[in-house]
Amino acid sequence: MEFPYEIREYVEELAAKQDGLQKAAERLSERYRAESGSGSPLVNGSRDILAYAAVRMPATFGAAAKALELTLKHFGGEIGSVLDVGAGTGAASLAAQFMTGCGDITCLEREQGMIDLGRELSRRCGADFRWIKRDISSGLERRADMVISAYCLNEMTADRRRLALEQLWSAADKLLVLIEPGTPEGFSQIKQARELLTGLGGSIAAPCPNIGECPLTEGDWCHFTARIARGRLHKRLKGGDAPYEDEKFGFIAVSRKPCEPCAARILRHPRIEAGRITLRLCTAQGVEERTVTRKDPRFKAARKSGSGEVF
């Protein structure tokens, strides 16, 4: 799914009037790599917010759209309202609107600068979101069929994260979707959320085939990839000419009603050899390696498959 052109164009107009955006983008990328889970805000000031809109908003939009695509296949319910917590400039809200068709979307964000820019960006592509200035630590007064929170838990300490998860789950009438960086630290946060939410009675809609304890051991993790098209400004701020980048992310979607998870999901890129393909799979029974030979009717599908896909 393509990031809205209207937003990309407007951000480029704003960037033409702003000095020092390259350094702000570099600092922002470094914070996402080094400060995840520290409890420190990753965006500070108007220059950082514009850099975020230029380089992180398209990535967040792509990750949220991919996570929702994988989730809605197994959820099977109608989404009549959405609450985006830690909405930033509205990337996950835009993805939710496109993927569900829902018109009742509320964005909760603590930074006024993010709200101001997000309101203008969403308006430019025809989205009419409700924006509320609020920090999750102050509690959530609203509920919705689906609550989504993207790259928000990684800005909290471990103690605050647990309380936030309980609040997010309480606010979700049907479905809670959490998205975090596709790193070992991000996976650790997703895994902790998985344990807490299933302990509270939630049913995993995606991505896990295994509905019991996560079978991945310490030092191992799973992630997913969304391919993001780069505009001119995005290329300049990232210092490269590649027309796209791959956003790696982890996610968990937990439903209040029982869901039928997928049978198996590919954990790593398939190992392709002459006449055989070896897949590392997460299944209902745990992690296993499965070899598909040329005689197997699934050989063609295996050859085209990739990390994170259902098998």
Q: Across the strands, what pairs with 253?
A: 177, 206
**283: helix, coil or strand?**
strand
Is residue 222 within 8 A of residue 282, CB to CB? The reply is: yes
Is residue 90 within 8 A of residue 96, CB to CB? The reply is: no
Is residue 185 within 8 A of residue 219, CB to CB? The reply is: no
pLDDT in tens, 156-213: 888 889 999 999 999 999 999 999 999 999 999 999 999 999 999 999 999 999 778 8
Share of the chain above pLDDT 70, in %: 96
The CB density around residue 98, as the number of other CB atoms within 10 Å, is 18
In this prediction, residues 227-239 reach a mean pLDDT of 81
Distance CA 7, CA 207 (A): 30
Give pLDDT, residue 38: 54
Residue 28 confidence class, pLDDT cut points 50, 70, 90: confident
Q: For 310, which DSSP code?
A: B
Distance CA 85, CA 145 (A): 13
Is residue 123 within 8 A of residue 6, CB to CB? The reply is: no
Q: Are strands 105-109 and 130-133 parallel, antiparallel or unpaired?
A: parallel
pLDDT in tens, 275-292: 999 999 999 889 999 999
Closest CA to 254 of 210, 205, 211, 212: 205
Where would I find the H helices in 55-157? 57-75, 91-100, 112-124
Give pLDDT, residue 36: 58
Give pLDDT, residue 1: 78
Is residue 197 within 8 A of residue 211, CB to CB? The reply is: no
Could you tell me the two tokens for 99? 């993927």
Q: Across the strands, what pairs with 292?
A: 277
Give pLDDT, residue 236: 77
Could you tell me the two tokens for 216? 């991945």
Residue 217 confidence class, pLDDT cut points 50, 70, 90: confident
Domain ranges of the chain: 5-255, 264-304
Distance CA 300, CA 152 (A): 39
In this prediction, residues 94-117 reach a mean pLDDT of 96
Q: How far from each other are the two terminal CA atoms of the chain, in whole angstroms? A: 22
Could you tell me the two tokens for 193? 């959320």
Distance CA 251, CA 234 (A): 25
Cα dist. 270→174, 249, 266, 284, 295 in Å? 34, 19, 8, 19, 17
Residue 96 confidence class, pLDDT cut points 50, 70, 90: very high
pTM for this model (two decimals): 0.92
CATH number of the domain located at residue range(s) 5-255 in this protein? 3.40.50.150
